[in-house]
Amino acid sequence: MKKIFPLVLLLFVLVSIATLPTISNKNTLRTNYEIKEESIPNTKLYLKNKYNYLVKVNVLLPLKDQVESIVEYLREDNNDLDIEWSGYIPKGTKILESKIKDKVLEIHFSKELEKMDKKYLIGIKESLLEIKRVEDVIIYIEDELVDDYLPLNKVEEWSNRDKIEKVVIYYVNSLSSPYLVPVTKYLNIDNNKIDIILEELKNNIPDHLISLVNNNVKLNSFKLENDILTLDFDNSILSDKKHKDLIVEEIAYSVLDNFDCSSVVIKVNNNFQKIVNKKR
């Protein structure tokens, strides 16, 4: 009896282990908002949302060949993506050659890439620039250099050809599962660029996007010092308490993309609220 009991116990343990649920290591995708507080290794890629805007999202990728992994993820027939996202590299597109030399990635695609809308070329380039040892990307279709990149989510709203400048504005997709969408606008700039940014966030919102910056938001002052841009608002920026973080990030990232600074400090009546740092 004493010999049988240990054998029965061992059998019970083995059966218990065998029946434990397994955890899938299938690649998962999360938006910037979902992952920003976590320390999970991830790669930021530009994927297409259902309205064809390119959005930077965090993706968990295998650590093997990063170039191949990124390209695979950006394919239009990638079935691992959440229903909210899709790739855009045409089916059948092959990597003919890729090499990294002196921090420059040179990549040659097959002619199938010509079927892709040119506005998505910048998505491929910016996604590949997320590789740590890469500082520039040169794309070829077979042996023909690609050099006609369109700005990210380009919108032209200028009324005359005088004083046209590029301005990148960050809007919100929706409130159900919010993330920021950068839109590149070409505008007639007559006023201070910060005033232009706030005006665009308040009143000139592209189709299928929203802005939580309302018309009551008032900027008291701003100052650029030691690579930090400080914006001081009145209390109206805090009127929507539920979405105040989104409002601050809409403004901060729009400013960071248009000014030569590393951080934006948001104050309310000279009281510190938040600091937002520029991401790569």
Q: What DSSP line would sit under 259-274, residue for residue?
A: SS-SEEEEEETTEEEE
- Mark whether 96 and 120 lie in a shared domain: yes
- Mark whether 161 and 273 lie in a shared domain: yes
- Mark whether 140 and 162 lie in a shared domain: no
Backbone angles phi, psi at 173, to 5 degrees: -70, -50
Q: Which helix or strand (DSSP H or E) is residue 222 part of?
A: strand 219-225
Q: How many domains does the chain have?
A: 2
Point out the domain boundary residue: 145, 173, 203: 145
Q: Domain range for residue 120?
A: 29-145
- Mark whether 100 and 138 lie in a shared domain: yes
- Mark whether 126 and 61 lie in a shared domain: yes
pLDDT tens, residue order, the chain (280 aa): 544 545 444 444 444 434 333 333 333 333 333 333 333 357 889 999 999 999 999 888 876 789 999 999 999 999 989 889 999 999 999 999 999 999 999 999 999 999 999 999 999 999 999 998 999 999 999 999 999 999 999 987 666 677 788 999 999 999 988 999 999 999 887 778 999 999 999 999 999 999 999 999 999 999 999 999 999 999 999 989 999 999 999 999 999 999 999 999 999 999 999 999 987 5
Point out the domain boundary residue: 120, 145, 170: 145
Point out the domain boundary residue: 145, 164, 190: 145
CA distance 110 to 125: 16
Q: Is residue 190 part of a domain?
A: yes
- Mark whether 118 and 169 lie in a shared domain: no
Q: Is residue 14 part of a domain?
A: no
Q: What is the pLDDT of residue 64?
A: 76
Model pTM? 0.78
Q: Is residue 17 part of a domain?
A: no
Whose structure tokens read 């003919």?
A: 96
